[in-house]
Each structure stands twice: as C-alpha cells, then as structure tokens.
Structure 1
Amino acid sequence: MAIKKSTGDRVFDICNILFMCLIMVIMLYPMLNVLAISLSSSAKVTQGVITFYPQELNFEGYKYILKQGQFYTGFRNSVIYAALSTIFTLLFTSLAAYSLAIKDFVFKKAFTIFLTITMFIGGGMIPTYLLYRDLHMINTLWVMTVPGCVSAYTVFVFRTFFQGLPGDLRESAFIDGANDLYICFKITLPLSKPLLATYALFTIVGSWNSWFNALLYLQDEARYPIQMFLRKMVVDGNISSMYQGTEIAAMLANGAVNPRNMQMAVIILTMFPILCIYPFVQKYFVKGVMIGAIKG
C-alpha cells in the first residue's frame, strides 16, 4: 500500500530535486565550457563569447596537441605510473589487511598501533626527499609508484571488509590443507571485488592527477606524467615560447588557433581516460564506498 505524502513532504522533495539540479549545473557547466572552448574557432574564443556550446566548430586545438611528442610521452608515463600504483596498492594493502583480519595474528595489536600513528605523524617534505635520495629513487619510476602505495586508512577499510566475510571459509580451507596465502588470493580477494574495484578507481584517479610528486622528484622531462605537460600548457601559459620556430608558433602568430583552444583541448584529452574507466566499475562503486559506513 502506497503511503500518501503530506504537503510538507512534497515541498521537501521538490526542494531536494531543485537543489540537486543546481549542484548538477554547477558541476557540469565548467566541463561543458572547457569542451566548448576547445571546439570553437579562434575568433570566437578571442571574443570571449563561448558559454556551454561550441561556436564555429574547430578541431585545430586537438590537431596540434596530438602532434606533440611530449603529450604521448606524458600519456605513456601516466598509464605506467597509474597501473603500477594500482597493482602495488591493492597487493600490499590486501596482504596487510588480511593479516590484521586474522584473529590469531601474533603482532596484530602492535601493527595496528603502528599504522594508526602514521595517520597522524608524517615525515615532512625535506626528510622524505632525503630518504628517497639515499634510496636512489629520485628521478626513477619507483618514486612515482612505491611511496604511498599503502595507506593506513585503506588498510583499515580492507580489514573491515575481510572481517565481514564468513570465518567458516577460512576454517574449511585450512581443513582442506590450504595456507593463509592461498586463502587470501583464492578465497578472500575473489569475494572482495566491489572493494578492489572501488579502491582501484581511487588509486588510478589519484595517480593520474598527480603532478606535485613529479615536480619534486623527477628531473628528466622524459619521465614526466601527462599532468606535467598539462601544467606546462595551462598554468605556465607560455605556449608561444614552448613551440617557438614550429608550425604551431606560426599558427598562433596568425591567429589560426588560439592558445586557449590548445589549453582546453589538452584538459579534455587528459580527462578522457578517467571518464572511460568509470562506467566499468560503476556497478561496484556504491557498494564499495559504503563499506566503511556499514561496519567499523
């Protein structure tokens, strides 16, 4: 039997819908504006009349960005960094969390205290840099992938999920001769797909958007991620000097393409891979983000 809503409930629902529509517009408009500028003609961009739809459709910004070797180098580096960061994060976090989820783990209390301390006390920027230097990690692949692959908060979330799995599964596996490593990889992790998919997405997005670590620890431009190329074009904004003596510099000089066309185009191209990944993990996302709220 349907429950009849009161006038107050209807007003509340309408206000909620209007508020959510407002939030949607606030979030979508900047993205639509960036997309519209990237696809509009140089003249219209210079006039500043672009809102949320392109005017005088023009792909010159994308054309010249996709000609740049730096873009492909940064894209390749970001894919490698994101893939390795995700693998390391899920692997090491799962092993640590599984150990804490076992009731008879000997050092469980000490390990938990140690992880908790790391949530409140950090090493600081300079000591961290000196540590990476002494470990010969500066300007290497590993400085972008290994540090930060284990987060105390993530370990505790994983532990909470593992503790919610039936304990009889582990006992039955032990009776059949399995060890903890086998149980972790063959039983626990396959039952944790929503958790793994959610935190894989978090790690990929975090790694893909990371530029500050590259600024601090990478010296070779050939190792820069895509975000450093984006920063160079958008934040520095000196596109003419970047491409001095090239075809792009000539196009910028005669007004065939506007610097903002190229800046907005590289923003869209940088966002596109993440937008493609999300639909594949969407079915796990809601369940995954609710894990920490269901059981603490």
Structure 2
Amino acid sequence: MLYRKTRGFRLFMVFNFCILTLVMLAIGFPFLHLLAVSFSESAAILGGKVTVYPIGFTIDAYLRIFDHPSIMQGFKNSLIQTVLGTSISLFMTTICAYPLSKKFLKGRKAFILIIMFTMFFSGGLIPTYLVVKSIGLIDTIWAVVLPFCITPYYLLLMMTFFQGIPESLEEAAMVDGLNPLQILFKIVIPLSKPVMAAITMFLMVYYWNNWFNSMIYLNSSKMHPVMMIVRNIVAGADLASMGSGIGQNDINTLSSASLKSAVIMVTMIPVLIVFPFAQKHFAKGVMLGAVKG
C-alpha cells in the first residue's frame, strides 16, 4: 500500500522516529554502560566517570572470570540444561499441540480449558517442590527440566499455528499411506519452521536464565548453572572467592563493579550469538501463530 507523503504523514514519521530512538537509547544505554564498566579500571568506576565507553581500558575482570573454576563449570551445566530442556520441551509441546489442533478430537475443548486454567492458577512453589521431592528428582538435572517441560502459552501458540496448515495436505498424505505420526514429522513439522524457531528461542532463553529453579531444587553447588553463579556474584555472596588471589597491584585495575559487569556480559554472549540467526523465523513464527486459527 502506497501512502501520500502529506504533512500529517511526515509529522507521524518524525514522531515515530523520535519514539523509536528513545526506546533504542533506553535499551542500549544499560548494555553499553555495563560493557564499558567491565573494561574500565577501578578508580574511574568509583569516581563515576564511566558512561558508555571504558576509561583506563583493562581486561583483568574477564581474565579473573575465566580463571574461576565455578564459572566454567556453570557454563557447562547451563549448556546441558539448555540443550536438554529445550529439546524435551519442544518435543513434548509438539506432540501435545498437534492432536489438540484437530477439531474432531473428542474432549478437545475440555483439554484446552484445563491447559488454559493452568495459565492462571498453579499449585504453588511448595506443592511443586513436594511433588518433585517425592519422585526423587531433587539435586538432579531432571528437577529443573521435567516439571517445566510444557508451557501452556507455547502449547497454545503452536496449536494455533498447526490449525492454519491446510487439512488437504494431511488428507493427501493419508491417501498416500502415511499414519498420523508420519504426517506430523514429514509434513507438519517441516511446514512449521517459523513457529518452531520462535518457541525454540523462547525456551533457550528461559532455560539459560533459569537460576531460581536451580536454587530451589539443586543442593549441590557443582550442578549450579552459570546464571545461579552470576546471581551469587551480583548479590556479593561469591565475590570474595573471585577476588581471592588479587595482588595489591591489581586493586587499582579491578573492582567488584567491573567483575559483576564482566560476568553479566559473558553470560549474555550465547543468547546474543544465537538470536540474530533465529530473528527472521522468530518474528514470523510469533505473528503467524497469533493470527491463524
């Protein structure tokens, strides 16, 4: 659709540009500030001189992070939790959403209402903990993966997307002799790459940032993900161990603020690397899943 470049249209574009610029600055400034602090020396940080560019450039904070054994172990734990949790969640969500997308399924509306009910009401933290403990999952990786492997919102989003796939394709596949599972994996899933990419991105971010469930269900510090370690460092609980071994000559170039900022930046890297590759499918999948039905 073509718009005439009237005076009102130009004013709208100027207003829109100003609003988007303010939003971009509001989002980008904290990121740039943390990046600058992570590369700045202690005197400049304590003096409040650091804004969006480093003063007294130093990489000592990053060197200290990668010398810390808990950080590297935390990265390994987070990677395992993210890959395992995302894979299981995506598989479970897919095989649950596909049958619910079929209108001829008996009791379909009742199942959907039950799923929607769980979006607004839950058993709470204590009952969930007791259930996880009663089946022997405490202090295992399954405690932070299995109880949260299906999210109702993502299930409904994928179900809505599946409903938008023409039934004629599935009917033609059935005529060719495919069973429902073959239709799902050979026809439906290849056509659902946008919504799959969107939900995968959501799940990866969730499991990568999931420190609270680890704090509740994992007692052994050796199993803590990197975000749990970051939380302890930011709270000051683990900062002393990171600072141990710093000589007197390092005091001027390394501070708790730079350590905290460097840890936050390092843990953001995996998401920042993955997101650009999934952005196209991410936006398309969210939009299609929201309007089809």
Task: Give TM-score, length-normalised by structure 1.
Answer: 0.94
Cα distance in 1 between the residues matched to 2:143 and 2:29: 36
Corresponding residue number in structure 2 for 1:172: 172
Distance 1:237 1:51, change over 3 A: farther
**Residues 136-175 of structure 1 aligned to structure 2 (within 5 Å):** 136-175=136-175
In structure 1, runs of 5+ residues without a counterpart are: none
Cα deviations across residues 202-247 of structure 1 (Å, max 9, x unaligned)? 000011111111111110000101111101111226623x247x42
Corresponding residue number in structure 2 for 1:294: 291
Corresponding residue number in structure 2 for 1:19: 19
Identical aligned residues as a percent: 38
Offset of residue 156 of structure 1: 1.5
1:261 and 2:258 matched: yes
Offset of residue 115 of structure 1: 1.4
Cα distance in 2 between the residues matched to 1:258 and 1:54: 14
Distance 1:40 1:139, change over 3 A: same
In structure 2, runs of 5+ residues without a counterpart are: none
Segment drifting more, 96-105 vs 257-266: 96-105
Question: Secondary structure of the equivalent of 2:17?
Answer: helix
Corresponding residue number in structure 2 for 1:219: 219
Offset of residue 76 of structure 1: 0.7
Cα distance in 1 between the residues matched to 2:2 and 2:198: 35
Counterpart contact for 2:64–2:242, Cα < 8 Å: no
Segment drifting more, 231-240 vs 88-97: 231-240
Counterpart contact for 2:40–2:253, Cα < 8 Å: no
Amino acid at match of 1:187: I
Offset of residue 15 of structure 1: 1.0
Cα deviations across residues 33-85 of structure 1 (Å, max 9, x unaligned)? 00001011222122221000011210000011011110011111111111111
Cα deviations across residues 66-123 of structure 1 (Å, max 9, x unaligned)? 1111001111111111111111111111111111122332332332222122122201
2:274 alignment partner, one of 262, 273, 277? 277
RMSD across aligned C-alpha pairs, in angstroms?
A: 1.8
Cα distance in 2 between the residues matched to 1:120 and 1:45: 44
Distance 1:198 1:87, change over 3 A: same
Count of residues paired in the alignment:
293
Cα distance in 2 between the residues matched to 1:2 and 1:197: 32
Amino acid at match of 1:28: G
Cα distance in 2 between the residues matched to 1:91 and 1:208: 18
State the 4+ residue runs in structure 1 displaced beyond 6 angstroms. Answer: none
Cα distance in 2 between the residues matched to 1:286 and 1:239: 39
Corresponding residue number in structure 2 for 1:134: 134
